[in-house]
């Protein structure tokens, strides 16, 4: 899936890749994801959610 073909439905503009900071359990990590340059909404692909994000969650979710 080519993330660069995505457009923001609300704003009608193509999404651009930006480094976004994610925060979870008092820790943060940064990842480049497609973002609407106008309204700022971030797109999380299924691949990202089930891949890198799931890995980071598992690492942080210790007892």
Partner 1 sequence: MSGDFTTADDLAAHGRDYVKVGAGDIQRIVTLSTSGSTGNGKRLYFTAGDLRRTIDFFRDGMSQICAPGDKVAILLGSPSPDGLGRLLEEGLREMGAVPSLLCLPRDYRETAEALESLLPDTLVGLPVQMRRLALMTPRLRPKTVLLSGDYVSLAAVDTITRLWQTRVFTHYGLTESGLGFAVQCPLLLGQHIRASELQVEIVDPDTGESLPEGEWGEIVFTTLRREAMPLKRYRTGDISRLLPGVCPCGQPGPRLDRVLGRVTEMRKPVSIYALDELLLRDDALLDYEASFRDGMLTVVTEGGDPASVRALLTETYPGFAVRVSPGVIPPSAQKRMVKTL
What residues make contact with partner 1 under the rule CB under 8 A? Answer: 25-26, 57-63
How many other CB atoms are found less than 10 A from the CB of residue 26?
6
Give me the least distance between CB of 18 and partner 1, in Å please.
25
SS3 content of the chain, % helix, strand, coil (to 5): 30, 35, 40
Give me the least distance between CB of 48 and partner 1, in Å please.
17
Give me the least distance between CB of 57 and partner 1, in Å please.
7
Of 24, 25, 16, 12, the closest CA to residue 43 belongs to 16
């Amino acid at each position: 899936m080519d993330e660069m073909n995505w457009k923001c439905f609300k704003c009608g503009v193509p999404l651009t890749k930006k480094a976004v900071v994610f925060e979870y359990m008092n820790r943060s990590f940064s990842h480049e994801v497609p973002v609407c340059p106008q309204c700022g909404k971030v797109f999380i692909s299924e691949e990202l959610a089930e891949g890198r994000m799931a890995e980071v969650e598992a690492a942080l979710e210790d007892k």
